[in-house]
Amino acid sequence: MEKFKNIISIPAYIPIMNIDTDKIIPKQFLKTIKRSGLGKSLFYEMRFDEKGSQIKGFILDSEPYKNSKILVTGKNFGCGSSREHAPWALLDFGIKVIISQSFADIFYNNCFKNGILPIVVNENIIKELAEYSNRKESIEVKLDEQEITYGNKSYKFELDPFKKKCLLEGLDDIALSLEKTEKIESFEKKMNQNKPWI
């Protein structure tokens, strides 16, 4: 997992509540176990019709939002099934930060495990950031300072220290396990000496 760096981007605003993981990446795209290649199918049903032709007007398919690294959304983002393909698709598309009033718990945790920063803010901040999206003006997200800056304003967001550490250092579950390699090997050595029959 890449180390998280400060993000400066024009935010893309999708003012829809209760966007579930099936809406983020529909079930027909869950056959793969690869984390790459899912970005093209992100929000598929909102971007393409039944024949696979692109629907005009979806924000992430228009300039400059197709290059946005920050997504601002309605509350309860990522509800529904716990599929990890949802953050995979967002990250593959280029989204590094998601800002919402609330997230589904499993999706929220899956974001951190895949290098995405989900930020919980209040309704007023959502409205202010939506204006920056509409005006096509950049905002900055600083993880170390836990701060969103836009214009001459800033907003400090709360974050679990361990999750913050994982993002800053690029630590996913595998990397966290590998950090304990010496202790694991020491334990196995003792087990082989004390209980060789196991």
Percent above pLDDT 70 for the chain: 93
Whether cis (ω within 30° of 0) applies to the bond prior to 64 is yes
Q: Is residue 164 part of a domain?
A: yes
120 occurs within a structural domain = yes
> Residue 1's pLDDT is what?
87
Q: Specify if 154 maps to a domain.
A: yes
Containing structural domain, residue 127: 7-194
Res 174 pLDDT > 80: no
pTM of the model: 0.87
Query: Would 2 be classed as within a structural domain?
Result: no
Instruction: Specify the residue for token string 């990890």.
Output: 84
DSSP H/E element including 182: helix 181-194
Is 73 domain-assigned? yes
Instruction: Kindly state whether residue 147 falls inside one of the protein's structural domains.
Output: yes
pLDDT at 179 over 70: no
Give the Å distances, CA to CA, from 115 to 96, 102, 183, 191.
7, 18, 26, 36
Q: Is 7 helix (H, G, I), strand (E, B) or coil?
A: strand
DSSP assignment string, 101-112: S-B-HHHHHHHH
Position of tokens 């309605």?
A: 74
* CATH number for position 121: 3.20.19.10
1 within a domain of the structure (yes/no): no
Total number of domains in the chain: 1
DSSP state letter for 62: S
Residue 155, domain member (yes or no): yes
